[in-house]
Amino acid sequence: NAGVTQTPKFQVLKTGQSMTLQCAQDMNHNSMYWYRQDPGMGLRLIYYSASEGTTDKGEVPNGYNVSRLNKREFSLRLESAAPSQTSVYFCASSGQQGLASPLHFGNGTRLTVT
Amino acid sequence: QKEVEQDPGPLSVPEGAIVSLNCTYSNSAFQYFMWYRQYSRKGPELLMYTYSSGNKEDGRFTAQVDKSSKYISLFIRDSQPSDSATYLCALLIGGYQKVTFGIGTKLQVIP
């Protein structure tokens, strides 16, 4: 059982380039999330999708867009990368909408923007 | 003031020691309390999940919640080198999808 799978694992971009981070879960979870993790800042929510067809902004959405492609997949797009977006990005999923369900994380994408 | 405060450490202890990790929070609406363990270059994994005040035990791990003091703790008994990781507390308001994380405490257990 793979759980939450993120691709790519590593990426280096130049300022202004674009890219899409992919995430897929096989746990039949309704809710999916994108976080970034930076030293001294902890995990910060970028966007989340409570269910298929809905997306909402989190704490730090500027510079990002998301797509909930289907129940399994939730992608994060950087349209014009900036050095401030250098970070480790984690995708997560959780079970039932509206209930307190723990998050299950992927192993992250390490992004460097030069 | 941050919603969740957690000492980032690092915390170094000898093998076999009892470890105490703590978080304080300011929002009394938090109802669900979790501890995640994160190994280097990996995603966080759920370790403990509690709802009520009091203690919850799972093997060598005990999670403690004191809602009146807005204080949560994770105790690790007989610590092992394999416990070396960063431990993040996480809090959730019931009915919402958004989890609030502490910044994590880095623990090193020395053989």
Rounded distance between C-alpha atoms, residue A75 and residue A7, angstroms: 10
Q: What is the pLDDT along chain B (111 residues), one digit of tens a residue?
A: 778 999 888 999 999 999 999 999 999 888 889 999 999 999 999 999 888 888 999 999 999 999 999 999 999 999 999 999 999 999 988 766 678 999 999 999 999
The four Cα atoms B24, B26, B27, B32 give a dihedral, to 10 degrees, of: 0
Structure tokens at B90: 């996480």
DSSP sequence for A33-47: EEEEEETTTEEEEEE
Residues of B in contact with A111 (CB under 8 A): none
CB distance B34–A48 less than 8 Å?
no
CB distance A31–B88 less than 8 Å?
no
Give the tens place of pLDDT for each residue, A52-92.
889 999 999 999 999 999 999 999 999 999 999 999 999 99
The predicted pLDDT at position A1 comes to 64
Q: Is B44 on the interface with A (CB under 8 A)?
A: yes
Rounded distance between C-alpha atoms, residue A75 and residue A5, angstroms: 11
The torsion region of residue B83 among left (phi > 0), alpha (psi -120 to 50) and beta comes to alpha
Q: Is A94 on the interface with B (CB under 8 A)?
A: yes
Residues of A in contact with B99 (CB under 8 A): 45, 103
CB-nearest to A48 from B46, B98, B104 is B98
Rounded distance between C-alpha atoms, residue A100 and residue A103, angstroms: 9
Count the neighbouring beta carbons within 10 Å of the beta carbon of residue B85. Answer: 21
Measured over all CA atoms, what is the biggest interatomic distance in chain A, rounded to whole angstroms?
41
CB distance B46–A90 less than 8 Å?
no
Give the tens place of pLDDT for each residue, B77-103.
999 999 999 999 999 887 666 789 999
Residues of B in contact with A89 (CB under 8 A): none
Give the tens place of pLDDT for each residue, A61-72.
999 999 999 999
Q: Is B98 on the interface with A (CB under 8 A)?
A: yes
DSSP sequence for B5-60: EE----EEEETT--EEEEEEES-TT--EEEEEEE-TTS--EEEEEE-SSEEEEETT
Those residues whose C-beta lies under 8 Å from the C-beta of residue A82, and which sit 6 or more positions away, are A15, A63, A113
Closest Cα in chain A to B88: A42
Q: Say which DSSP state A73 is in.
A: B
Rounded distance between C-alpha atoms, residue A61 and residue B61, angstroms: 35
